[in-house]
Amino acid sequence: MSGLFGSLSVALSGLSVSQQEMETTSNNVANANTPGYTREVSDVTAGDPVEMGSLSIGTGVVLQKIESLRDPMLQIQINQATQQNSSLNASLTQLQQIQTQFASDTSGIGADISNFFNSLQQLSPDPSDLTLRQGVLTAADTLATDFNNAAQSLQTQRSNVDQNVVQSVSQVNSLTSQIASVDQQISALQGVNQDPGTLVDTQNNLIQQLSALVDVQVIPTDQGITLATSNGTTLVSGSQSFALTTQGIDGVQHIFSGTEDISSSLTGGSLAGLIQIRDQEIPSIGTSLDQLAAGLATNLNAANAKGLDLENPPVQGGNIFATPPAGGVGAAATLTVSMTDPSLIAASSDGTTGSNGNLANLSAVANQDVANGQTPIDAYSTLVGQVGSTTSNTSADADASNAILQQLQDQNGSVSGVSLDEEASNLIQYQSAYQAAARVVSTVNLLLLDAVNLGMDAAEE
Amino acid sequence: MRVNPNPMPDLMAALNQTELEEQQAELQISTGKSVNEPSDNPTAAALLVENNDQATFNSGYLQSISAVQGQLSTASSTLSSATTALQQALSLGVEAGGGTLSASDQAAIANQLQGIQSQLVSLANTTYEGNYIFAGTKTSTTPYVLDSNSPDGVDYVGNTHVNEVSIGNGYKLAVNVPGSQLFSAPGNDVFLAINNLIQAVQTNTGIGTAVNAVSAASSYLSAQTVLYGNATDQTQSETTYLNAAQLQISQQQNTLGGANMAAAATNLSQAQTDNQAALAAISKLSQDNLFNYLT
pLDDT tens digit sequence for A1-55? 467 888 889 999 999 999 999 999 999 999 988 888 899 999 999 999 888 888 8
**Per-residue pLDDT at B166:** 95
Cis peptide before A49 (omega within 30 of 0): no
Range B14-47 burial, b when 16+ CB lie within 10 A, else e: bbebbeebbebbebbeeeebbbbbbbbbbebbbb
pTM attached to this predicted model = 0.88
Query: What pLDDT, in 10s, does the model give residues A68-83?
Result: 898 989 999 999 999 9
Closest CA to A390 of B257, B50, B42: B42
Q: Is A348 on the interface with B (CB under 8 A)?
A: yes
CA B161 – CA B176 distance, rounded (Å): 9
Cβ-Cβ contacts under 8 Å for A33 (sequence gap 6 or more): none
Closest CA to A166 of A19, A310, A42, A270: A270
With an 8 Å Cβ cutoff, are A392 and B165 in contact?
no
Backbone angles phi, psi at B132, to 5 degrees: -70, 125
Would you say B157 and B141 are in contact if contact means Cβ atoms under 8 Å apart? yes
Over residues B245-273, mean pLDDT: 93
pLDDT at A357 > cutoff 60:
yes
Q: 3-state class of B281 per DSSP?
A: helix
Mutation pick from A74, A88, A97, A105 vs chain B, by most beta carbons of B within 10 Å, is A105
**Per-residue pLDDT at B182:** 93
Beta bridge partners of A260: A257
Q: Element (H or E) spanning B195, and its range? A: helix B190-203
**Per-residue pLDDT at A230:** 86
Q: Is A339 on the interface with B (CB under 8 A)?
A: no
Beta bridge partners of A255: A246
The partner residue sitting opposite A377, judged by closest CB among B41, B53, B132, is B53
**Per-residue pLDDT at A54:** 87
The confidence band for A461, taking pLDDT boundaries of 50, 70 and 90, is very low
Cβ-Cβ contacts under 8 Å for A315 (sequence gap 6 or more): A308, A309
Of all residues in chain B, the one with the smallest CA distance to A421 is: B290
Over residues B76-103, mean pLDDT: 91
Interface of A with B in 416-455 (CB under 8 A): 417-422, 424-425, 427-428
**Per-residue pLDDT at A182:** 93
pLDDT above 70 as % of chain A: 97
Comparing A312 with A360, the larger pLDDT belongs to: A360
Of all residues in chain A, the one with the smallest CA distance to B39 is: A388
Of all residues in chain A, the one with the smallest CA distance to B71 is: A125
Would you say B207 and B200 are in contact if contact means Cβ atoms under 8 Å apart? yes
pLDDT at B150 > cutoff 70:
yes
Over residues A326-340, mean pLDDT: 94
**Per-residue pLDDT at A459:** 45
Cβ-Cβ contacts under 8 Å for A39 (sequence gap 6 or more): A28, A68, A69, A416, A417, A418, A419
The confidence band for B286, taking pLDDT boundaries of 50, 70 and 90, is low
**Per-residue pLDDT at A193:** 67
Q: Element (H or E) spanning B173, and its range? A: strand B171-174
pLDDT at B164 > cutoff 50:
yes
User: What is the sign, positive or negative, of the torsion defined by CA atoms of A203, A209, A211, A214?
Assistant: negative
Over residues A279-299, mean pLDDT: 96
Query: What are the chain B neighbours of A117 within 8 Å (beta carbons)?
Result: 56-57, 60
Interface of A with B in 390-419 (CB under 8 A): 391-392, 395, 402, 406, 409-411, 413-415, 417-419
The confidence band for B5, taking pLDDT boundaries of 50, 70 and 90, is confident
Query: What pLDDT, in 10s, does the model give residues B31-46?
Result: 999 999 999 999 999 9
With an 8 Å Cβ cutoff, are A354 and B140 in contact?
yes
**Per-residue pLDDT at A393:** 97
pLDDT above 90 as % of chain B: 77
Closest CA to A10 of A42, A45, A58: A58
CA B137 – CA B140 distance, rounded (Å): 8
With an 8 Å Cβ cutoff, are B61 and A100 in contact?
no
With an 8 Å Cβ cutoff, are B13 and A378 in contact?
no
CB pairs under 8 A between A and B: 189
With an 8 Å Cβ cutoff, are A355 and B10 in contact?
no
Mutation pick from A126, A348, A353, A402 vs chain B, by most beta carbons of B within 10 Å, is A126
Query: What pLDDT, in 10s, does the model give residues A193-204?
Result: 677 778 888 999
- The alpha carbon of residue A379 and the mean position of all alpha carbons in its chain are separated, in whole angstroms, by 32
Cβ-Cβ contacts under 8 Å for B196 (sequence gap 6 or more): B206, B210, B213
Over residues A430-450, mean pLDDT: 92
Query: What are the chain A neighbours of B4 within 8 Å (beta carbons)?
Result: 410-411, 413-414, 417
Give me chain A's average pLDDT, please: 92
Query: What pLDDT, in 10s, does the model give residues A136-177?
Result: 999 999 999 999 999 999 999 999 999 999 999 999 999 999
Cβ-Cβ contacts under 8 Å for A418 (sequence gap 6 or more): A28, A29, A31, A32, A37, A39, B5, B6
User: What is the sign, positive or negative, of the torsion defined by CA atoms of B128, B134, B139, B144?
Assistant: negative
Mutation pick from A92, A94, A99, A124 vs chain B, by most beta carbons of B within 10 Å, is A124
Would you say A341 and A306 are in contact if contact means Cβ atoms under 8 Å apart? no
Q: How many CB atoms lie within 10 A of CB B217?
A: 27
CA A90 – CA B132 distance, rounded (Å): 65
The confidence band for B71, taking pLDDT boundaries of 50, 70 and 90, is very high
Distance in Å, alpha carbon of A31 to nearest chain B alpha carbon: 13
User: What is the sign, positive or negative, of the torsion defined by CA atoms of B280, B282, B287, B291?
Assistant: positive
Query: What pLDDT, in 10s, does the model give residues A228-269?
Result: 998 889 999 988 999 999 999 988 999 999 889 999 899 999
Burial level of A149, CB count in 10 A (0-12/13-18/19+)? middle
The confidence band for A277, taking pLDDT boundaries of 50, 70 and 90, is very high
With an 8 Å Cβ cutoff, are B290 and A424 in contact?
yes
Over residues A81-91, mean pLDDT: 96
CA B113 – CA B89 distance, rounded (Å): 6
Q: How many CB atoms lie within 10 A of CB B150?
A: 14
CA A9 – CA A16 distance, rounded (Å): 10
Query: What are the chain A neighbours of B37 within 8 Å (beta carbons)?
Result: 96, 99-100, 103, 388, 391
Over chain A, what HEC string results? CCHHHHHHHHHHHHHHHHHHHHHHHHHHHHCCCCCCCCCEEEEEEECCCEEECCEEECCCEEEEEEEECCCHHHHHHHHHHHHHHHHHHHHHHHHHHHHHHHCCCCCCHHHHHHHHHHHHHHHCCCCCCHHHHHHHHHHHHHHHHHHHHHHHHHHHHHHHHHHHHHHHHHHHHHHHHHHHHHHHHHHHHHHCCCCCHHHHHHHHHHHHHHHCCCCEEEEEECCEEEEEECCCCEEEECCEECCCEEEEECCEEEEEECCEECHHHCCCHHHHHHHHHHHHHHHHHHHHHHHHHHHHHHHHHHHHHCCECCCCCCCECCCCECCCCHHHCCHHHHCCECCCCHHHCCCECCCCCCCCCCHHHHHHHHHCCCECCECHHHHHHHHHHHHHHHHHHHHHHHHHHHHHHHHHHHHHHHHHCCCHHHHHHHHHHHHHHHHHHHHHHHHHHHHHHHHHCCCHHHHHC
